[in-house]
Amino acid sequence: MSPLRPLLLALALAWPLCPAPCAQGACPASADLKNSDGTRTCAKLYDKSDPYYENCCGGAELSLEPGADLPYLPSNWANTASSLVVAPRCELTVWSLQSKAGKTRKFSAGTYPRLEEHRRGILGNWSNAISALYCRCS
Ligand SMILES: *[C@@H]1O[C@H](CO)[C@@H](O)[C@H](O)[C@H]1NC(C)=O
């Protein structure tokens, strides 16, 4: 067997694990963000992120309906979200402190597998830092 074969095999095995929009990993695409019953979702938060994109959007998920206005997140979700996805024509505004205080940021429609990569102030990032939110759709 040529020494090249194991390499080719490894590439062939790795390829399907990394489909086109690779950076979104296991996260749904914005356009696929629907509840199982077909009703509209404004955004979804996910508990788990990961250095490996294919493992992002894991763990518990919190589905937000259009107009969801949560100055206080359910206690098990405060400072917990590590990945999020915002539906088309929707926008999610988040705050770092409850009652919509502290730092704020808007996430437009799209997939954000690693909130760690989104800067919060000079030193922080948005992973495990969302304490209040407002989600609206046009
Ligand atoms: C994000 O913030 C957390 C907590 O402050 C920190 O432990 C982590 O290293 C930061 N990650 C990046 C990529 O800056």
Q: Find out whether the beta carbon of 116 lies less than 6 Å from any atom of ligand 1.
A: yes
Pocket test for ligand 1, best of 116, 119, 126 (most atoms within 8 A of CB): 116
pLDDT in tens, the chain (138 residues): 555 555 544 444 444 443 434 456 688 899 988 777 878 899 999 998 777 766 778 888 999 999 999 999 998 999 999 999 999 999 999 999 999 999 999 999 999 999 999 999 999 999 999 999 999 999
Q: How far apart are CA 28 and CA 82, in angstroms?
A: 14
Q: How far apart are CA 65 and CA 137, in angstroms?
A: 9
Report residue 108 as tokens.
Answer: 């437009």
CA 106 to ligand 1 center in whole angstroms = 19
The count of residues in the chain is 138
C-alpha separations of 70 from 112, 131, 135 in Å: 20, 9, 9
- Listed in sequence order, the residues at least 6 apart from 40 whose beta carbon sits closer than 8 Å to its beta carbon are 34, 65, 66, 87, 137
